[in-house]
Each structure stands twice: as C-alpha cells, then as structure tokens.
Structure 1
Amino acid sequence: MVNRALTVVENSLAAAAFMVVTAVALMNVISRYFLNASLAFTSEITVNLAVWMTMIGAAIAVRERAHLGFSLLHDRARGRLRVAVTIAIAVVVVLFLLVIAVYGWEQVVSQRESGRATPSMGIPQWWFSLALPVGAVLAIVRAVQVAVATIRAPDEDGHVVGIEGGPVL
C-alpha cells in the first residue's frame, strides 16, 4: 500500500512538472511567434522544474530498474556472491544519494534563510532546490526496495538465496 502510494506521488510529481514545462514552453513559442517577444520567466520555470523532473525521474528509474549501470559482475554472480554484490551496490548508491540529500538540504536551508528568490518571478529559490533532498530520499527508498527484491529473487533452480547462502524456499 505504501509502495503504491509512493509510486503515485512520484509519477504525479514527474507528470505535473513535465506538464508545466510543456505549457510554459508552448506559451513562450506562441508569444515569440505572434508578439515577437520572449517571456523571460519561461526559461526560469523550465530550468528550475528540470531539476524536479531529473530527481524524481532518477527515483522512478531506480524503481523500474532502468537506471544506467554496469551489471556484468552482478549478473554473473550466484549465491552468496550475488547477495554480497547486491548489498555492496545498494550501500554505494545509498551513500551517494545521502550526500545529495544532505548537501541539497543544506542548500535549501541556506536559500530559505537568505530569502533568495528567482530573478524574473521572485519565487523562493528553495522551492526548486527542495527537489534535491526529496528526490534523493525517494531514490534511497527505491534503492533499498530493489536490493531487497533482488536478494529475494529466485535463482535458476527456483530457490531464493538468503543471506546464509542456502536455499530459503
């Protein structure tokens, strides 16, 4: 149930950001064509929402196991070695995402305390920077879920290899 709700949140955030970027870019194209004038705020919104789309998209990619990666060692490993490689990969990914979350949160706090706003529209910049810690936390949750699911996945014989290295089923 939590997994499904998280999926809805991720997909909704990504779709909403993409929809706004598309609408704003279309407005700018129409404005340039008919009014011969560019709307300055459109690039501001587009660039800042791209950060949201990237971070939420990264979490979705981890969930869907669609992120780029070198998987030769993991794919060839069996039994305990596969479990160890899966755990090692998950630990490295989670540590990387924790760095993004921590530094992203520090950036949000700094921008909020300084009152920094976007140049054209005056929107608080931290609203956009919040994508870093939010996206990183979502991706951490998904990385742990994928690691657990991979460890519990059956091998060629239909057995699930547990931490002990023996068949669980």
Structure 2
Amino acid sequence: MTLVHLLRGISDILTVVERWLLTVLIAGVAGFVLINVSFRAFGVTLAWADESAILSMTLATFVGASLMLRARSDPAMRVLHEVATPLLLRALRVAASAMAVTFAVLLAWLCWRWFDLPGLSSAGYDIGEFELRHFNFLYTEVTPVLGLPYWWFYLIMPWFALTLIVHALTNLVEDLGLIDRRASDLNSGGEG
C-alpha cells in the first residue's frame, strides 16, 4: 500500500468517526433544546440544557466543517466553473487544497502553542505554577453553568486541525492526480 492510499484510508476512517460524532452532537443539540422547551412550558428554565446545547452545537460546527472539506461540499464559484478551462479548474482546485493544508498546519501549530504541553510539563503539571510562568489560563477556565473545564471542549480545535490536515492532504493528492478521485467524491456535488 502506498503512502497516498494509506492517507486516503486514514481519511476514510476519520470520515466514519466524524459522521458518527456529528450525528451524536446534533442529536444532543436537538435533545437539549427539546428538554428545555418542554420545561419552559411549565415555567422552568434549565440553564444547563442551554449551555449543553450551545457547547454541542459548537463542537458539531468543527466536526461538520472537517467533513465538508473532505466531501468537497464547500462553497464554489459556479460562474468560474462554467467559463474556465479544465486545466485552470484543476489548478484552482490544487491551489484551494494547498491553502487548506496550509491553514490546517498553521492551526495545529497554534493549538500546540495554546495548549503548551512543554510549558505545562516544565511547571511539573502544577497548573498554578504554569499560569504564573506562562500567563496561560486555559486549564482553569470553567463553563459558567456546568462548571466543567473548558479545555475539554477546546480539544475540538486540535482534533479539527489534525482531521483537516488529513482531509486536505487527501484532497490535494487527488487534485494532483497522485490518486484517482472516487466516483462518490465526484458525485457529491462539491467542486472545491
């Protein structure tokens, strides 16, 4: 198995995981909203349900964006597709995929700096010492209602960066012709 086939295999596995995760998160949003609406009918507001719905929707946004990139269902300039030559369209797809890879790598680097695991390690995993040394309060912020550490939810950012790298690289190798695009990819409606 070549490296590009392995890359597409990893992308396919991530796609399955992301579809399942997106389904769970969107069902969670619907469930939390329905619970809260039902209780509001009796004059009771559940703040935890509001916060849970917001957090679930935020997580779902990142998971869905990663899936959209792989499915090439991102917005495209249809007018350009109608007047441009096939060679120009291919060059534009390669450029868009290369920009997506660049963005994803930059986001991964920013996440590495934000979570600052080497800094946390150098502080002996003492959060107070880490905050004093680095002025990074990521690990002590909590959600207002549930009181859960925000960093658990912020883990969606490195996940998003890594899945975006894999999906964007897969799209790029397909656009470069190193591996054929699948018929299901071609018929997905996206031209990205």
Task: Give the gaps of 5 or more residues in structure 1.
Answer: 155-169
The answer to whether the aligner puts 1:66 opposite 2:73 as a matched pair is yes
C-alpha change, 1:71 and 1:99, in structure 2 (3 Å) is farther
Which residue of 2 is the match for residue 21 of structure 1? 29
User: Is this contact kept in 2: 1:51–1:131, CA < 8 A?
Assistant: no
- State the TM-score, normalized to the length of structure 1: 0.75
Correspondence for 1:11 among 19, 22, 31:
19
TM-score (norm 2): 0.67
- Name the structure 1 match of 2:162: 137
Does the Cα contact within 8 Å between 2:11 and 2:166 map onto a contact in 1? Answer: no
Q: Secondary structure at the match of 2:41?
A: helix
SS in 1 for 2:19: helix
- 1:65-104 → structure 2 map (5 Å cutoff): 65-70=72-77, 76-79=84-87, 84-104=91-111
Query: 2: distance between equivalents of 1:33 and 1:105?
Result: 45
AA partner of residue 33 (structure 1): A
Quickly say closer, same or farther: Cα 1:97–1:2, change in 2 above 3 A. Answer: closer
Q: What residue ranges of structure 2 are gaps of 5+ in the alignment? A: 1-8, 117-135, 182-192
Q: RCO (CA 8 Å, sep 6+): is it higher in 1 or 2?
A: 2
Contact 1:105/1:130 (8 A) holds in 2: no
Alignment RMSD (CA, Å): 2.5
What amino acid sits opposite 1:130 in the alignment? L
* 1:105 Cα deviation after fit: 4.7
After superposition, where does 1:25-64 map in structure 2 within 5 Å? 25-34=33-42, 36-64=43-71
Matching residue within 146, 152, 169 for 2:171:
146
Task: Provide the C-alpha distance between the structure 1 equivalents of 2:151 and 2:39, rounded to a whole number of angstroms.
Answer: 28
How many positions carry a matched residue from both structures? 151
- Whether contact under 8 Å (1:21, 1:45) holds in the other structure is yes
Contact 1:10 / 1:56 at 8 angstroms: preserved in 2? yes
Identity of aligned residues (%): 28
Equivalences for residues 103-142 of structure 1 within 5 A: 103-108=110-115, 110=136, 112-113=138-139, 115-142=140-167
Post-superposition CA distance 1:52-90 (Å, at most 9, x none) = 1111111111111101133665772444x5554333222
